[in-house]
Structure 1
Amino acid sequence: MTDWGLLDPGAADTTGTDDDAVLGAMVEVERALLRAWGSELDEFLDAQADALEAASLDRAALIEGVAHDAVPVVTLVPALRAQLVAAGLLADRLHLGATSQDVVDTALMLVARDAMHGTRAALVEAGSHLAALAEAERRSPRIARSIARHAEASTLGVLAAGWLDGVASALETVDALAFPVQFGGAVGTGTAADAAAGRPGAADAVRAGLAAELGLADPGRAWHAERTPVLAVASAAAAVVAALGRIAGDVTLLSREEFGEVRLAGGGGSSAMPHKRNPVDAVAITAAAVESPGLLQIVASAALAGDERSAGRWHAEWSSSRRILRLARSASTAATRLLAGLEFDRDRAARILAHAGPAGERPDRGVLDAASDRIVDRAVARFAALSERQSRP
């Protein structure tokens, strides 16, 4: 039985990261490789590329192939070759000069690119809600808390601006990513591609053509055993989840009845207590934030690859790197819902501040307002500048 989300609130958004998406990406890599070879060899291979499709592939056979060969491509390539033969097309250029790792790594970079682009869009939407909250509450005082105790006066706007800074930092991290194509043949030297083209350096040209076809970056090299591109993507996903996890933790605390500084729209039910409305989006984000560091640790451990294709470490990357992408996308999707329905109770915040006692140090109101204005303005301006950028391949 395939998992289908029964006990997985932290990774509810599987868009673009499920097995069908990965299979579709692998087929897209083979299509793009045919077109790149068409340019290199001055041959018309678009018909072959167009004939490849993922929908009719035998999933059970692919699963058996993974169990037998530890990679899906060994079974995939003959299945795609059979599609070409059935269409009356020559199949000799399929997978030319490539190895399994070229297809898997490149396909997973396609999945990562699309997942992180979706995550970025959700972060921008979530940040827009936070910017509006920060602007609206810049003069609404509250008691700030330090080490779980009352500290000194601040504002709800400053609180929202701090959350917004986390979203902006996550955007910066995502925008710094490159999603590189992988093409180097059996051991990364590209000799099979050079031999097929009859000239040295053909592998570089095919790699560049493949990158252009897929909209990925051309790294100018093969990175078979140098796994920092995968680690960078996983680290960025973990940074997204951490930034949103901080917001979820604050919201969960401040929406408690004994605090009441935050009000949430809707909420989930309880099987035993019908009166409850649980902060389900904050719960889902927190679940993702608890899980993602462990996944990042696995990806970082797998980066100790060894050889030109590591035994087991590379394989451990696949599910962990894909899972952390799913958590980032799911958390950002949940954050847009959470923040769209979030309101501050400024009266409740003011009453808590008024009863804070000696611990609630109160600076001059004019000084506090000026500081709040400065913090909110900077956070909003930084987010606005980042949200208008276009992330690169």
Structure 2
Amino acid sequence: MPAHASSPSAAPALRTSLADVEPPLALGPLDGRYRRTAAPLVDHLSEAALNRERVHVEVEWLIHLTSHGVVPGAPTLSDAERAYLRAVVTDFGADDVARLAEIERTTVHDVKAVEYLLKEKIAAAPSVLGETALPSVSELVHFCCTSEDVNNLSYSLMVRGAVRDVWLPAATGLVDDLAAMAHDLADVPMLALTHGQPATPTTLGKELAVLAHRLRRQLRRVEGAEYLGKLNGATGTYGAHVVAVPGADWPEVSRTFVEHLGLTWNPLTTQIESHDWQAELYADVARFNRVLHNLATDVWSYISRGVFTQIPVAGATGSSTMPHKVNPIRFENAEANLEISCALLDTLSATLVTSRLQRDLTDSTTQRNIGPAFGHALLAVDNVRRGLAALSVDRDLLARELDQNWEVLGEPVQSAMRAAAVAGVTGMENPYERLKELTRGRRLTADDMREFIAGLGLPADVASRLAALTPASYTGLAEHLTETYLR
């Protein structure tokens, strides 16, 4: 057989099925490689957290119905009975997760499984409490509720907890770190680049302050988010409610219950709560992500340019073949995770606001991806924060760049000539054009610029002010703006 001819391929070796490995392996990076960073969201946005909030809503609805005389004949529960019910929520753990899964294999309905689990807990109450009225109110579990009554409230509580307890503290910590850097570097002059070309100098701190200011504005929007909820039955009409208990003021019962949960009551819905608040929130978080992405790309560029150097981590490898490399991986990782998070948040925002007629099920699957959307955002925040902590400024490089670009003083010189012309000084004609001829496409030295200034015939005080100006001192109010407006 010729040397180049293909030989029959060997039969593929049988491989161990990774799908059968115990404990189960994670399919996605948030539950695998990046589990430690994303783990705090499991308490809020996992399937188990959803079921815990469902139990919470069902428990509080039962307590609400028996506390306000809503259903005639229903007993008022004692403090011990309420505590027993609420302990079902606080003690919710692995055994309850497993039991719910077992029940759902029969019901093939997740919310019904929650109802049956809670009824089991109520049936067991006498063994803990002795004589108790709880078994007599068992049928008030899920009373007049459609599944979406429980689900919408559960998701509102879950998302609120994830945002307030996990994402906001992390994002705020990042912005505070960035603001502290901005203050520390407020007086460090830097050559600006507009369109990638040398431009009017600024300070490194002022440029970081711009990004911190933008991010803080988005944080304020997220902090002010409303979390809506409803409980009004299968098509939002309280149909079953008014037939079962016609004497109750059901909208008021619903409002007080939703507000008892700490949510904003939505009085007009179809079967589902409209999710508009979710679209608003996710748009704000996505906008924060995009500003943070701008920060990541800017810092990456500053590192590439040498403005920032990265403090090496002992034992870390930057490249498998180039030993000298210290790569800006934190910022690159953040970019990718921000893009994934924004893609998910944008899809959530676009999808959740639409439901055919009185209800379709698209929101059910969609909302199960809220966790990954926030998980990738949280991972990006963590990466940027750690990346910023490992930066050092090369002040010598900044000084050299400024000293190599005296032509950037063409702007203040021609502006001073314009002001002098208005004040009646002669010989100030065509200031922009004269500076353009002097500076465009050329590198000037300090002597070149000062010689030009000296020959203009400016008033002595103006000429002296311009002659003393250097690219490093031409930073305007950059330091003042940072210290004054980044609070």
TM-score, structure 1 length as denominator? 0.83
User: 322, 327, 335: which one pairs with 2:384?
Assistant: 335
Amino acid at match of 1:106: L
Q: Check conservation: 1:240, 1:328, Cα contact below 8 A.
A: no
> What's 1:39 paired with?
67
Report deviation, 1:319: 2.7
Cα distance change on mapping 1:322 and 1:94 into 2, 3 Å: same
Residue 477 of structure 2 is aligned to residue 371 of structure 1: yes
Residue 355 of structure 2 is aligned to residue 305 of structure 1: yes
Amino acid at match of 2:60: A
Distance 1:326 1:24 in 2: 20
> What's 1:84 paired with?
122
Give the percent of matched residue pairs that are identical in Structure 1 and Structure 2. 20
Distance 2:102 2:302 in 1: 47
Distance 2:286 2:356 in 1: 25
User: 282, 296, 308: which one pairs with 1:262?
Assistant: 308
Distance 2:409 2:241 in 1: 70
Report deviation, 1:161: 0.6
Range with greater deviation from structure 2 (73-82 or 193-202): 193-202
> What's 1:28 paired with?
56
Q: Check conservation: 1:238, 1:324, Cα contact below 8 A.
A: no
> What's 1:350 paired with?
399
Counterparts of residues 165-204 of structure 1 (less than 5 Å):
165-204=213-252
Q: Check conservation: 2:57, 2:150, Cα contact below 8 A.
A: yes
Distance 1:66 1:15 in 2: 28
Name the SS of the counterpart of 2:201 in structure 1: strand
Distance 2:36 2:483 in 1: 34
Name the SS of the counterpart of 2:143 in structure 1: coil
Distance 2:327 2:306 in 1: 14
Deviations 1:298-345 (A, max 9, x none): 22133221222213x212421333322223333333333333343333
Distance 2:103 2:393 in 1: 54
**Larger relative contact order (CA 8 Å, sep ≥ 6):** 1
Report deviation, 1:168: 0.9
Greater Rg by CA: 2
Amino acid at match of 1:182: K
Q: Check conservation: 1:99, 1:186, Cα contact below 8 A.
A: yes
Distance 2:384 2:177 in 1: 10
Range with greater deviation from structure 2 (116-125 or 54-63): 54-63
User: 342, 350, 364: which one pairs with 1:293?
Assistant: 342
Q: Check conservation: 1:254, 1:262, Cα contact below 8 A.
A: yes
> What's 1:62 paired with?
101
Residue 292 of structure 2 is aligned to residue 244 of structure 1: yes
> What's 1:215 paired with?
262
Residue 147 of structure 2 is aligned to residue 104 of structure 1: no
Range with greater deviation from structure 2 (59-68 or 296-305): 59-68
Amino acid at match of 1:305: S
Residue 198 of structure 2 is aligned to residue 122 of structure 1: no
Cα distance change on mapping 1:115 and 1:140 into 2, 3 Å: same
Cα distance change on mapping 1:97 and 1:137 into 2, 3 Å: same
Amino acid at match of 1:86: A
Cα distance change on mapping 1:180 and 1:115 into 2, 3 Å: same
Amino acid at match of 1:14: A
Range with greater deviation from structure 2 (235-244 or 153-162): 235-244
Cα distance change on mapping 1:35 and 1:3 into 2, 3 Å: farther
Distance 1:199 1:265 in 2: 71
Distance 1:310 1:361 in 2: 64
Residue 208 of structure 2 is aligned to residue 160 of structure 1: yes
Deviations 1:4-27 (A, max 9, x none): 637765994231333332222222
Deviations 1:268-309 (A, max 9, x none): 634614543333432332122211332133221332212222
Report deviation, 1:238: 0.9
Residue 39 of structure 2 is aligned to residue 14 of structure 1: yes
TM-score, structure 2 length as denominator? 0.68
Unaligned runs of 5+ residues in structure 1 are 382-393
Range with greater deviation from structure 2 (297-306 or 45-54): 45-54
What is the aligned-residue RMSD (CA, Å)? 3.2
Report deviation, 1:376: 0.9
Q: Check conservation: 1:122, 1:336, Cα contact below 8 A.
A: no
Report deviation, 1:201: 2.8
Q: Check conservation: 2:152, 2:273, Cα contact below 8 A.
A: no
Q: Aligned pair count?
A: 376
Unaligned runs of 5+ residues in structure 2 are 1-23, 70-74, 127-133, 413-468
Q: Check conservation: 2:203, 2:478, Cα contact below 8 A.
A: yes
Report deviation, 1:199: 2.6
> What's 2:88 paired with?
52
Name the SS of the counterpart of 1:234 in structure 2: helix
> What's 1:389 paired with?
none
> What's 1:384 paired with?
none
Distance 1:136 1:361 in 2: 29
